[in-house]
DNA sequence: AAATTCTCCTGAAGGC
DNA sequence: TGCCTTCAGGAGAATT
């Protein structure tokens, strides 16, 4: 599933193609994604120039001359740049048509979304209450420590809460906690600022290195079709339940938190 | 206010 | 071989 690094990779991949280009049309084949694609979206897009692309959490934003397209990939969404007519298949839900190419959105599970807003996107209900970007300076041990005060929730849920920090999904939450040596169920109010420093640094590190690898993939393939980013990353714990810890050989444990698979090393990440 | 549960959807995997 | 059941998962909404 597209995590923050993959969204960033997609952004970097399509940016050179779409920036300062005009959207000529949108073809919607399946409007029922997580939310209905607005029926009047076409009128907002046609002949509008894409001024720039940006990312907020896992949302990809197309800033137009007037208004902003807000795209989320859900669990199984992907964008391709196509330059020749290719018959759409079952899960190709919309095409964004430019002059010499089009972007095709594919999403088997339809947890993604495509919305449009005329207001400042940061004020859009979906984005307004988001926490800081994990790679920004605002996301640091002091910030987390203050937020964690008087809270009982476990640290994995805490860092996956978008009001606390955006873009930390299940994979990177598990990997970051392993790197920081913190048990996923540790109540956040019991975590010292020093340990939060380890955690914030771990989160930045895993995300950065995945983005870097995604960027490398882009250079190699020069389009957004290649599987990018985290697939190539060495994962220490995610998907390795009951396998030996790469640090201490102890068998990795698999628990369920909020119905999410959560793998950790009981020896490296004691409670 | 904070925390938990529910919900959308389909492909993959497992059971028989 | 094939049909049926189960399950994963991002994240906002609904509920406790």
pLDDT tens digits, A77-133: 999 999 999 999 989 999 999 999 999 999 999 999 999 999 999 999 999 999 999
Which residue is the nearest neighbor of B8, CA to C1'? A34
List, in sequence order, every residue forming a beta bridge with A49; answer none if it has no partner: A22
Residue-level pLDDT at A226: 44
Tokens standing for residue A124: 């859009």
Spatial distance from the CA of A186 to the C1' of B1 (Å): 21
Average pLDDT for A251-255: 92
Spatial distance from the CA of A79 to the C1' of B9 (Å): 19
**Whether pLDDT at A219 is above 60:** no
Q: Is the CB of A147 under 7 A from strand B?
A: no
Task: Examine the residue annotation and report whether A2 is marked as an active-site residue of this protein.
Answer: yes
Q: Is the CB of A175 under 7 A from strand C?
A: no
Q: Is the CB of A162 under 7 A from strand B?
A: no
| Closest alpha carbon to A14 in A65, A75, A83 | A83
Residue-level pLDDT at A239: 87
Q: What percent of chain A has a predicted confidence (pLDDT) above 70?
A: 93
Task: Examine the residue annotation and report whether A267 is marked as an active-site residue of this protein.
Answer: no
**Whether pLDDT at A18 is above 70:** yes
3-state SS record for A169-192 = CHHHHHHHHHHHCCCCCCEHHHCC
Tokens 């923050």 correspond to what residue? A4
Q: Is the CB of A34 under 7 A from strand B?
A: yes
- Output the CA–CA distances (angstroms, integers) from residue A32 to A23, A45, A72, A91, A235, in the order listed: 22, 19, 14, 11, 34
> Distance between alpha carbon A91 and the CA centroid of its chain, in Å?
20
Spatial distance from the CA of A248 to the C1' of B8 (Å): 40
**Whether pLDDT at A68 is above 50:** yes
> Distance between alpha carbon A264 and the CA centroid of its chain, in Å?
22
Spatial distance from the CA of A109 to the C1' of B7 (Å): 13
**Whether pLDDT at A233 is above 80:** no
| Closest alpha carbon to A147 in A126, A166, A131, A135 | A131
Where are any strands of DSSP class E within chain A?
22-23, 25-28, 48-56, 59-64, 68-72, 78-82, 92-97, 102-106, 113-117, 253-257, 260-264
Judge contact between A162 and A130, C-beta under 8 A: yes
Which residue is the nearest neighbor of C7, CA to C1'? A259
List Cβ neighbours of A219 (8 Å cut-off, separation of 6 or more).
none
Judge contact between A102 and A96, C-beta under 8 A: yes
């Amino acid at each position: 599933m597209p995590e923050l690094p993959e969204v960033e990779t997609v952004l970097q991949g399509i940016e050179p193609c779409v920036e300062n280009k005009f959207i000529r049309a949108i073809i919607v084949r399946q409007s029922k994604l997580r939310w209905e694609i607005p029926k009047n979206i076409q009128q907002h897009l046609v002949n509008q120039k894409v001024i720039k692309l940006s990312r907020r959490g896992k949302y990809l934003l197309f800033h137009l001359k007037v208004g902003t397209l807000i795209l989320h990939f859900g669990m199984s969404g992907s964008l391709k740049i196509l330059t020749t007519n290719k018959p759409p298949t079952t899960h190709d839900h919309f095409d964004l048509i430019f002059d010499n190419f089009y972007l095709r959105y594919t999403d088997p599970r339809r947890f993604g979304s495509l919305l449009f807003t005329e207001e400042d996107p940061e004020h859009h209900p979906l984005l307004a209450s988001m926490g800081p970007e994990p790679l920004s300076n605002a996301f640091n041990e002091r910030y987390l420590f203050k937020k964690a005060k008087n809270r009982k929730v476990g640290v994995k849920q805490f860092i996956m809460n978008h009001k606390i920090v955006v873009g930390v999904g299940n994979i990177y939450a598990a990997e970051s906690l392993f790197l920081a040596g913190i048990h996923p169920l540790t109540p956040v109010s019991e975590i010292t600022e020093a340990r939060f420093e380890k955690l914030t640094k771990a989160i930045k590190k895993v995300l950065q290195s995945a983005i870097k690898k995604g960027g490398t993939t882009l250079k190699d393939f020069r389009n957004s079709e290649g599987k990018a980013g985290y697939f190539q990353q060495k994962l220490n714990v995610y998907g390795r339940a009951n396998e030996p810890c790469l640090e201490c050989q102890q068998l990795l444990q698999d628990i369920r938190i909020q119905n999410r698979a959560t793998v950790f090393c009981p020896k490296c990440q004691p409670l």
